[in-house]
Structures are given as structure tokens and as C-alpha cells.
Chains A and B, each alone.
Chain A
């Protein structure tokens, strides 16, 4: 049963890969044509050579004019073969790299539409390995498949044809022995697929570890954990060694095994041909032609079996990428999804239930109504789930029950784009993309003018430090902000939002890494920005909290209190406790 499933999975993968190849049908046909030309031309050479040899009978018995005629023919055939071979290779490259490009693009597009739950729940390193390493392996296999599978099959068919035209009996000898070769090859291939899959899985596991540890190498070193980590790495490495060794060895058995069958075929032809020639049924030249065919006929079996193992490996890799491509995307937008347009900023949460893990209750029966321009401060002890609320507002996650409405529309009924366009978000975890400062700032509004951009940077107090960078706004910053300090990154994130100024704001500890002197200055800009805009602010500073219209006090994922500064103080509950703690450090 299990075996059948594996086999089915493999054919499924193959079918999907073929769908990708279908886009290159024209090139594929072209490649096939060239393959046919080159194979038949190649096969014609031994026939001509055999003819030539038959004109070389013995001392004083050589027909030179006929020889020269045949040799010229050979020269022409060679030229045709070479050209066809080259063109075929070019076509095959184009198809392979095209297919790989398409698969990568699809995989990447899928990443863009996956629910955050999937991305948060999977190791990034492993996903990257699927898009990069697996696809690469797949390309290698596919290329080999094209270059050798076509020509291999054609060579076999062509040789059979030519051989039959010379002598049926000897051909039968060849045909009877070769199935052994096929049998051996498929036997080995079946065993190998499993091992390749295990090898591929272990590689994924190792990539994940590398990603985690090398990505956070500084922590590893700070704790002197190099040896421990190395040990974990070596454990996986050792397992990988075992699987790789088996996969590599078993797959490489195909070659010697089929070669042995070849030599049997060769001998068979030798014996049968020898006896036939002895009885004068064929000429010596034809025997030489047969022997050379016996070689050419069986070599493709070698190659094909080699290709088959390579293709199996490739399919295992393709399977992993396709798995990603076929992953369930985030809930599609309803066909009649509304585009929100510029909103006033009414947000209403009614009877919202949500949890990341069905087993653990988090937000339950949460109700909140925010009028345009109101400020909502979210306070509470560290780790009380303030970020969860943002995940829901931005629709990074969908609510389990209840609904969130913006401007009276359930946010599941509006387009994600228009919903998110209406929010400006500055997160505590600053993220910048590799590229120039300019590219980063223009992210929310690519069409902004230079003046607008600089003004936004000035408002965020980022202009000065940007000016001091080697190339100003065109300075390229590396992966994840590269050499910028946490605070500088945060300023850039703020400037990024200031440039698009959407009607609603989400500020998650937006200034946690900025020194207070700078922050004071930004505050003004912030105040300006928040004027008339509905804002959700996760904050610690009481000044910000106090001036909020609604304060949500959260604890353990749920909202425990809700009200204004005064009413909450009067209540003498959680908020009052927090408030007092701050003033009595």
C-alpha cells in the first residue's frame, strides 16, 4: 500500500512537472526534431564505415574511388550531426531553465499569498531551501533528462531499425538480452528513490539548523555554544552521511550493472555475427557495423538508467517545491469584495473570538467600537497579547468567530489591499529590505516626489543621519537593515509610514529603540500625524496612554479593562496598579 502511494505521488509530481513543460511545447518539438536528425545521422556513420571497410579487402584489393566517395558522405553526415546536436542542446537549456524559472516564480508568488500562519509556523530556512536548492537539483535532473532521454530512446529505436535492415537474426539476439538491462535499472531505481527522498529531507533539516544558528551566530558565540551547536550539526551531518552514502552508492550501481549487460549483448552479437559471417551471410564490414551498433544500442540504456535515477532525485526535489506551490493560500477574497477607498476610520469589533492554537483560548468575546479620529491605547504587561490584536486588525490572521468591521464593512468582505492601504503600521520589530534607503522609504508610495520623501524623512528625524551616510538616500543597506542601528531602522520605518499617511495608524512600540531626545522631537510629528486619524497604539509611555480616548488593558491575551484614564483609575483595577508602578520605580 505504502509503495503504491509513493509511486502515485511520484506520478502526480511528474504530471505537474509536465504541465510546466507544456508551455515550451514549440521548443520541445524543435528539440525533438534536432534529436531525430542528430541521432539518425549518428547512426548512419557506422553503416557508411562498414561499407568503407568492405572496400578494404586485402593487399592490392582496395577500391579507392568508392572509398573516397563514402568518406565524403561521412564528412557531410558528421557536419549535419554536429549542427543538430548543438541546436538541440541550446533548446534543451532554454526549456530547462525556463521551466525552473517558472517554478521559482510560482513558488515565490505562493509565498506572497500564503497565510501568515503557514509562514510563522515553518522554518524560513527550510522554505528557502525548497525554492533554491531543491529547484536547482531539479534543474540538473531535468536537463540531463532532456539531453539524454530523447537521444537515448531515439538511438535505441534507430539502431533497431538499422540492425533489422541488415540482419534479423542477430538483431533478435540483441533484443532478447536487453530487457535484462531494463529490469536491472528499474530495480535499482525503485530502491534509490526512497533514499533520495530521505537524503532530501535530512538536507532540509540541516538547512533549517544552519539558518537558525548562522543567522543568530552572535548569540551562539556570546554563550560560547559553538561546540554544542556544532555537535547538533554533526549529528544531522552524520545522518545525512548515511543517507547520502546509500543514495549515492545505490544509484551508481545502475551503471556497472547495465554495462555488464551491454558486454553480454556485445558478446552475443560477436558470436552470432561471427557465425553469420563465417557462413557468408553478412560481410565483415556489416559485422563491424553491428558491433558498433551493439555498443551504441546499449549505451543509451546506461544513460537512460542514469537519467532515471537522476530524474527520481529531481522528482523528489520537485515534489517538495510543488508541495509548497500547492499549499492552501490565504482565504481568497470574495468575488464581490469591496474596495474600501479612503475611510473615515470607524472600526468595530464585535464578539471576536480568536486563538492561534485551537486548544488554547486567547481572545474571547471582545467588543470595541472606535470612532473616526479616536486614539486607542493598548497597555498591559509584557507578553499580554497586544500584538495579536494587530494581527487581527491588519487581517494577518482571521478571527475565529465574530467580526471586525471597518467603515461598517466586515473586513473579510473587502479587498486586503484596500484594507491594509488604510493602515499605516510601525512595528517594534523593524524590518527593512535590502536595497537603497530611497527604495525603503518609497515602499508605501512609490510615486512620491523627492521633496515629499525628504519631508517625510525630516519629519521622522531621519533626514540628518541619512545625509551623513556615504551615499545619502542612495546608500544601499544590507539584509535586514545591515549596519544601521536599531533606532535608525525604526526612524526609517516611521518615515516610511509618514510618507503615505493613511487614515488609520497602528503603532506597536513604534519608538522603543529611539532615544528620548529624538523621540520628543518625533512626538510632535506623531501628534500631527495622528490628528484626525484613528490610531491603535501599543505603548508604555503614560503620556501617550493618558491622552488616548480608549485605553484597552490587556492581560493574558484578553481585554480585562476598557475605558479612559480617569474612569480606569477610579476603578482601581489593573490599570491603576500599572499606573502606580510607573510612578514608583
Chain B
């Protein structure tokens, strides 16, 4: 929580002024009982009407000052709280964006969304209330005690006993309920998870007519949430009655002591009334404080959840932070102007576009290695095919190139330099990757394509679309490039989405292009045309094609055959056919299919 409060520093002035004005208001409020006591002890016994009027004038004046102070305080605190939440939301979003894939996998999406929305809202109202009341209430409580001392020391001692007792109760309940609120929030997360899942999986759920079962599952999650909320509610419900008992117990004692002191002639009747008034002011403040504490407790619990996300460190950060700064400096000083040339010359000299040196990868929290001791070189302009069974590590391998994950052992080099030495943005600038899951974003097609290159001209976009075999997708749309894409690209078919995502990567004119099984929804003919047109690109990038189909990688300069995370064959189609058992099997399974369809399968059809 403390770390979050740092975000208040942008609103230092407001966060100081808000409670300050609140305290000013409270001070004036504390004077009222004294004024009333004066009225009772002086005005009434002396039957002095003008004195009473004068006194009430003072009371109205105190009220006006209080109003002004309080409105000022409300404004500052609203500004600070809302501004704080805005900054926090900004930072949280930025932080999530900076996390590497390992961390994102670990945290999970749905909880990130709750934290960014409802958790921050809770924290916002918490901060707002704290600024307005958290100082004011204790101030009134202690102020009332101090005022009591000015009236009578012995009577004031009752305040000295009652106030710590109250604090113990209030803070005790708070301490007990904070961890419980965290649990409530966790259960809320589950409810959110189920809701989301049912929206994304709506087709399957309906196909299996699981609507009722899912509703039941939701109801049970919901029930658990409600049970927890009720449990916490029962505990916090103690707050008001217990504080009420303490304050009124003190009141009885106060009246009794007051009676003795008046009897002894030490106190006046008006002063006893003032003391009673102070005690009831304490009660009123405590009721506010108790309500406030519920909100604050929730806010703190939510704050902790937010903080735990902010505390997740990017596991790749250290190297990027230190070395990248160094690398960037180096580039800035001498490298920058020369860098391109150097790369260009290097490329001609045969420096590899991508090189793997004994690379192994174990995902966090995974027992088994996903890649084992992989070494290979890819020269600029070459096409590398990567093939292998489901789960053989094909995607993991190519994900190391743009540094989505860090190799646990060995080195990945891009244009002769370890990927860890690049600033991540520079590295990803060079690499165009098309992921398995074709994702488009809400906006126009143009906006989507421009993700590849912000200032791309229409010609560049059309060129990329043509290469990606997606020209007709646009041609068929009324608005062409301006066609709106619905969220998740739902208004496009899987194949259209895939081609558009490929185009998006091509707009970048990357040095290295990775197609991670991204033509799976394309039919053979389109797939073939796509490869053809990539081959014919002007500045042909080094291309990595991850595929299940031998036909897609058959003409690659080099084919890596993966099996269970290890390279079991490397070479051209022909050499692999000769030497690599696994490759031969894969090829035959597909080749046969094409060749023998007439035979075996035809029989079935009849």
C-alpha cells in the first residue's frame, strides 16, 4: 500500500490542503460546545437576551467559516483522489505492458482486468475518504479530549480511558477484516473468470448444451462470494454497537463524576453540558470513522492486490535495464550513424540474421525443458522451415527470437548480437512475427495494419496486403482500408484474419519474418501463393516458417525438424528425406494422403 501512495506525490499540494482545511473546519466545530456552555452559564441565569443573540451570531459565523473550509477541502480531496487513481491506472497499465510473456502467463488476464478496474475504483474512494475524514475524525476525537481538559482535568481523564479503548476496538476489527476482504476479492475474481469464459466459449457451451451446468457453476461461485461477504459483514457489524457502548458507558461515568464535581462546586451545570456535548461529538465522529474504516479496509485490500502486480518484476528487465542502456549509449555515441552500415556490411560478409548457440529453454513453473541444446544459423534472406509434432517446441523456438522469453541456457543472436544486448523495442523493430492466434483490434483495417509501421503510406499497406494474399479481403469491403474491425476481429473469418495479421507484420518490412503456424487456416493454394510472393519480395527478409505441413516448408533453404524439444534433423527437404526418420514419417503421412487418396480412402467414400 505504501508504494501506491507514492502516486499521491503528484498531488502533494492537494493532499496536504484537503485534510488541513478539514481540520480547520473541525476546529471551529470544537468551539461550539464552549459557546453553548457560555450561553447556559451566563446568558440564561442573567436573563441577558442580547448576550444570547450575540452568542448565536458567533455560532452562525463559525458555521459559515466551516462551510467554506469544507468545500475547499472536498475539492482538493476529490482532485487528489481522482488524480491519484488516474495516475495509478496509467502506471499499472504501463507496467503490465512492460511485463514479459512469462509474467503475463503467470498472472493471468482476468485478474489483471479486475485489478485495473474495480480494485482501483475502490482505492480511489478510499483515498478520497481518507483525505477528507481520516485526519478529521481523530482530530475531533483528540480535540474533544483536549477541550475537556480545559474544562476539568478529572472529568477529562474519562476521555483518556475511553479513547484508547475505542482505538483498540476500531483497529482490532480493521486488522481482522483486511485479510478477509482480500478473500472476498479473490472470490469475486472467480466470478469474473467464469463470466468471461462463458462469453468466449459461448459456442462450445451451447453446442454441448451446458448452459444450465454453467449457470450452476456460476451460482456456486456466486454463493461462495456471498457467504464470504456475509461473514466479513458480520464482523464489521460489531464496530458500531461496540463503540456505541463504550462512548455511552463513558457518558454515564461522566455524568456521575460531573454530578460530584458540581456538588463540590468545582464545575458548573453548563460545563457539564459542554463535556457531554464533547462526548457525543466523539460518538458521531466514531460512527463516521467506522464507516470510513470499512471503505478503507476494502481499499487497502484492493491496494495490496494492485501493488502485488506492480511488484512483479519483468524477469528480463535487469539485462535490458543495465545492458540495454549501455548498448543504447554505445549506439548513440558511435554506433548510431554507423550501425546500419555495419549491419549492412556484416550481412554481406555473411553475419547471420539469426543464430542459436546451444539454446535451452525451461518455462517458469514447468518441470520439463521445452527446448534442448539447439544450435543453428540463418543467413539473411534465407527461409528456415521448422516442423515437428504437436508440442515439440516449434513455437517456443521462434518466440526466443523477438525475446518473448529468455533462453535459460545458451545464446540467441540476431544480426550477430545477443538479443539481450538490444533494447527490446529495437529488437522487435527488426522482427515481424505472426502468431498462431490471429488477433485484430477494434478500429479500421488501416489502423490495424499501421501497427506494423505508423507512417506507412497506402501504397505500402496495399503492397503488404498483396503479398499476404489479402488484397481481396479489402477489395470486397465497401470501405476498403477504412472498413471497421470489430473487437477481436469477429467480423472477419479465421482465414481473413490470418492474412490480415500477416500483412500487418509485412508492413513493418522486417529483417526477420516469423510465421508461427500462421497459415493454418489458409487453404493450400493460398498458402502456396503466399510463400511465393514472400519469396519475391524486394528486400527479402530471413523467413521462419513454422508449420505442420511439409508442403509449406518443402522449398525452405533449411529445415529444422523438432521432436520433443530437440533438433532431430536439419537440412534441405531432400537430405532430410534421406536421412531423417521423423521427417520422412511426417512427409509420407502427408504425401501418401495426396497420392493414395484414390485408393484407400475412396473405398470408404463409396
Contact = CB atoms under 8 A, between A and B. Distances in A.
B96 interface: yes
Nearest to A52: B255
Interface in B175-190: 188
B27 interface: no
16 contacts: A56-B269, A67-B255, A67-B256, A78-B248, A82-B241, A90-B233, A93-B237, A133-B117, A226-B94, A275-B52, A291-B36, A379-B523, A382-B521, A382-B522, A420-B208, A486-B517
Given A53-B269, A224-B429, A270 B59 contact: yes
Given A382-B521, A480-B200, A542-B597, A222 B404 contact: yes
A547 B605 contact: yes
B113 A125 contact: yes
Interface string A184-227: 00000000000000000001001110111111111111111110
Contact of A248 (B128, B486, B522): B128
Contacts of A583: 594
Interface in A423-465: 423, 425, 427-429, 431-434, 443-444, 446, 465
Nearest to A79: B245
A11 interface: no
A267 B101 CA distance: 65
A441 to B, nearest CB: 11
A56 B259 contact: yes
Interface stretch (B68-76, B341-349, B352-360, B406-414): B68-76
Given A221-B404, A263-B66, A479-B197, 16 more contacts: A56-B258, A62-B263, A68-B256, A214-B96, A214-B116, A245-B78, A252-B74, A263-B63, A278-B47, A284-B269, A421-B209, A493-B204, A515-B389, A516-B548, A578-B525, A581-B525
B64 interface: yes
Interface stretch (A15-23, A158-166, A228-236, A342-350): A228-236
Contacts of A98: 226
Contact of B193 (A116, A240, A479, A519): A479
A480 B199 CA distance: 11
B523 A514 contact: no
Given A82-B242, A105-B218, A133-B121, A274 B44 contact: yes
A581 B118 contact: no
Contacts of B117: 129, 133, 203, 206-207, 210
Interface residues of B, number: 191
B97 A221 contact: yes
Interface stretch (B137-145, B159-167, B488-496, B569-577): B488-496
Contacts of B473: 383
A491 B391 CA distance: 12
B401 to A, nearest CB: 11
B104 interface: yes
A59 B590 contact: no
A260 B198 contact: no
Given A515-B548, A581-B525, A111 B230 contact: no
B215 A225 contact: no
A572 interface: no
Contact of A230 (B93, B210, B488): B93
Given A74-B248, A486-B517, A515-B548, A93 B230 contact: yes
B125 to A, nearest CB: 8
Which 10 residue pairs across A and B have the least CB separation, nearest first? Answer: A382-B495, A487-B390, A59-B265, A93-B233, A263-B63, A581-B525, A89-B237, A547-B605, A256-B70, A82-B241
Contacts of A53: 255, 269, 272-273, 276
Contacts of B322: none
A144 B605 CA distance: 69
A547 to B, nearest CB: 3
Contacts of A444: 208
Given A212-B488, A224-B429, A253-B74, A113 B241 contact: no
A253 B265 CA distance: 46
Interface stretch (B81-89, B324-332, B458-466): B81-89
A383 B493 contact: yes
B554 interface: yes
A364 to B, nearest CB: 16
B487 A208 contact: yes
Contact of A512 (B36, B244, B520): B520
A61 B264 CA distance: 9
A230 B97 contact: yes
A127 interface: yes
B487 A278 contact: no
Judged by DSSP, the binding face of A is helix
A278 B51 CA distance: 12
Given A97-B226, A207-B113, A428-B521, A83 B241 contact: yes
Nearest to B129: A252
A439 B270 CA distance: 75
A522 B395 CA distance: 23
Given A59-B265, A133-B121, A581-B528, A82 B245 contact: yes
Contact of B586 (A432, A479, A517): A517
Contact of B207 (A61, A278, A423): A423
A216 B276 CA distance: 62
Contact of B439 (A86, A94, A216): A216
Contacts of B49: 275, 278
A527 B44 contact: no
A438 B573 CA distance: 40
Contacts of A396: 203, 206
Contacts of A431: 200-201, 203-204
B273 A288 contact: yes
B526 A381 contact: yes
A52 B253 CA distance: 12
B56 A271 contact: yes
Contacts of A220: 97
Contact of B97 (A127, A136, A229, A479): A229
A290 to B, nearest CB: 11
A169 interface: no
B110 interface: yes
Interface string A262-296: 01101100110011011000001001100110010
A86 B244 CA distance: 11
A237 B89 contact: yes
A94 B604 CA distance: 64
A79 B82 CA distance: 41
Contact of A252 (B67, B132, B265, B435): B132
A58 to B, nearest CB: 6
A585 interface: yes
A573 interface: no
Contacts of A78: 244-245, 248-249
A506 to B, nearest CB: 8
B198 A111 contact: yes
Contact of B222 (A104, A416, A483): A104
A387 interface: yes
B230 A61 contact: no
B308 interface: no
B511 to A, nearest CB: 14
A221 B428 contact: yes
B168 interface: no
Nearest to B486: A121
B96 A224 contact: no
Contacts of A111: 195, 198-199, 202
Interface string B449-486: 00110100000000000000000010010000000001
B315 interface: no
A519 B193 CA distance: 33
B333 interface: no
Nearest to A54: B269
A569 interface: no
A518 interface: yes
- Most A CB contacts (10 A, CB to CB) among B248, B367, B491, B598 go to B248
Interface string B437-457: 101011000000001101000
B195 A108 contact: yes
B32 interface: yes
